[in-house]
Structure 1
């Protein structure tokens, strides 16, 4: 029983019924002009329901009508976020964009005609059922005059009081069923067009790609800072040299400050507060990255061929992160070992190579973790390729990125 009574306790049931009754306003106003409402026949009722159709179909050609109907449908046919009902927080699936094609205009016209006819039927049923209920109550003690309703009223009897609630219950049941049907029709006729769905899908894809990029940025930056801090702290403890300890603390401070700047920039992007994000590091800042690795005890030899300033901004920024992850991987898994870094720029591509001896007593699988996977993903997104793994007793990272 509660399953059938629950819809009657929800406000959306009555806002849906009100939405239906509003649709009867146009045929009601036109009926005052013709054919009038003084003792109308069945043919007059049919004319009242049909004659506004050309008018609403013409109004549907205006692009803004689809937006107005979509906003009204969202407001009155679906529970708001404040409503404590299941699914209230979900997108109702009704577009609020203006008509962008003739197909949108056609769907809007069908919706307006449906709303017109459903509203006229809802108003007619409301008047008839409420009139029947009042006629039954009035005939309890004495026979009344013709109430003007379609449903026959029994002769005067006290039992009519028991029948009086039935029309009201029928009206409430009709309100629940008709409201749900109109909500379903709104999703079909006012729902997003294929073009809008494609645009929403593209926007969602861009958001996911941006989140994925931010996750990689945080992994590379914070992971590098923590790795350097751990290596420096361990080396300082083992060395027991005040001078070396001072240098190690300085390197930890510098690396931590750079990581905090990256974190602040990423948080600005996530907040979307309109502030401009700080500049992302490029290969022009690779010197600080290499100095940080050297301060951790690694012996880094660098070979640069070609002008790094010719590398486009997006490629240079991603290349910096790849180099950062490669050096972080060296410090994390091999410790302070000799590292060979090669940066080569020609007319068509940028090549990055990082080599270091494999740690003794460990077997390299070549698969790597999320950092190496991130290097390969970055290279693929830029149209390049990356290879990571053991070769000739060394761990090698080789990346080739097109400059076009």
Structure 2
């Protein structure tokens, strides 16, 4: 019983009833001037013509959002759009909405008035008097059991109000909701946002992860060496790596704070020397070989190649330590090839594990390339091929 009565305590129930009744107000005003069947027909025709105007969907959308949705629970309903009609399909749906709202308004308005009048007639005829109200339904004869039935129309009235409100809300979601093209556009926008968040998270992971790994390795090596000169070199490497990480962090935060504001450019393969020197300073014996015109590599490919190299060297320092590393960067035949190999010590994570390795493969896939990571002939390899076009 409480569940049945709960809708009657919600303001949105009566807002929906008002939304339905308002649809019949101005045609009803015309009835005071001349009561004729063609007034409703004229109203339907004029509403149909109004529905063809693109701005009508904006007006109806705002009105539906204001009166049909429960803002405490739903907030601004994304299922009801407030943009002008673009296609003829949108205009047609708006026309159907206006006509359906007019018909539903006529029915609910009459029931809202006639049900209380019918209850009065049943009560007066049940008490032995004639009909007191001039209702749409005429109650004839005086029967005692009319008084017993008098509460029934009053009980039906809230049912009409509640269920008509649910119906018109569902109808609004259907007819004033986004079209297929609008849903696809919203989905593409949402996908772009998720991809951008993923890219930013990957940027932070690679940059900050590399800086922290270098700092930890350098600090541990300096403490183990116990040499003042080595400690000074280690602190210098930590300082340089930390400064680069702070620049990357500032750039990424700038993107998050002000997407319209230009930010400093992301590092490319032209800046790979600092990665190699940082790894060497951390104790790794890096044998690097760069062939081909690296400077001509397109920006997106060069930037992603830099991050792949950074993550690969970070994994070497984190999991293998100061070991020999072979780095090959080759540009030829319309592709960029990155090959990083190092001894594969016991306990190295297997292929496919770790967010860094997954990020390498995702970066390659987004550019239409491919990447392999994992043990190969007793060594750990990262091999990425990125198309230049």
- TM-score scaled by length of structure 2: 0.90
Q: Distance in 1 between matches of 2:374 and 2:43?
A: 75
**Residue matched to 2:166:** 180
Q: Which residue of 1 aligns with 2:16?
A: 16
Q: CA deviation at 1:185?
A: 0.9
For residues 142 and 317 of structure 1, do their structure 2 counterparts lie closer, same or farther at Cα, with a shift above 3 Å needed?
same
What is the CA distance between 1:138 and its match in structure 2? 8.2
Q: CA deviation at 1:388?
A: 2.2
**Contact 1:78 1:92 (C-alpha < 8 Å) held by counterparts:** no
User: Is the counterpart of residue 128 in structure 1 residue 119 in structure 2?
Assistant: no
CA distance in 1, matches of 2:40, 2:175: 21
Unaligned stretches of 5+ residues in structure 1: 36-43
User: Shift of the alpha carbon at 1:316?
Assistant: 1.0
What is aligned with 1:377? 362
CA contact (8 A) 2:131 2:140 kept: no
Instruction: Kindly state the Cα deviation for residue 317 of structure 1 after the two structures are TM-superposed.
Output: 0.9
Match of 2:291 in 1: 305
Deviations 1:119-167 (A, max 9, x none): 1222222222344456678899995775221244688999999876654
Instruction: Tell me how many residue pairs correspond in the alignment.
Output: 389
In the alignment, which residue of structure 1 is the partner of 2:31?
A: 31
Specify the alignment match of 2:213 in structure 1: 227
Task: Return the TM-score normalized by structure 1.
Answer: 0.87
Aligned residue for 1:52, secondary structure, equals helix
Q: Residues 260 and 91 of structure 1: is their aligned pair in 2 closer, same or farther, counting only changes over 3 Å?
A: farther
Mapped partners of 1:66, 1:149: distance in 2: 37
Which residue of 57, 63, 79 corresponds with 1:72?
63
Contact kept in structure 2, 1:232 and 1:252, CA below 8 Å? yes
Q: What pairs with 1:361-376 in structure 2 (closer than 5 Å)?
A: 361-362=346-347, 365-376=350-361
Question: What is the match of residue 384 of structure 2?
Answer: 399
Please name the residue that 1:322 is paired with.
308
Larger mean Cα displacement after TM superposition, 349-358 or 157-166: 157-166
Change (3 A) 1:377 1:363: closer
Q: State how 1:205-354 maps to structure 2 within 5 Å.
A: 205-272=191-258, 274-346=260-332, 348-354=334-340
C-alpha separation between the residues in 1 aligned to 2:348 and 2:387? Answer: 33
Gaps of 5+ in 2: none
Which deviates more, 369-378 or 272-281? Answer: 272-281
Cα RMSD for the two superposed structures: 2.8
Provide, for residues 65-123 of structure 1, a one-character-per-residue CA deviation record: whole Å limited to 9, x for no partner: 1121112111111111xx2x5xx258451222221211111111111001111112222
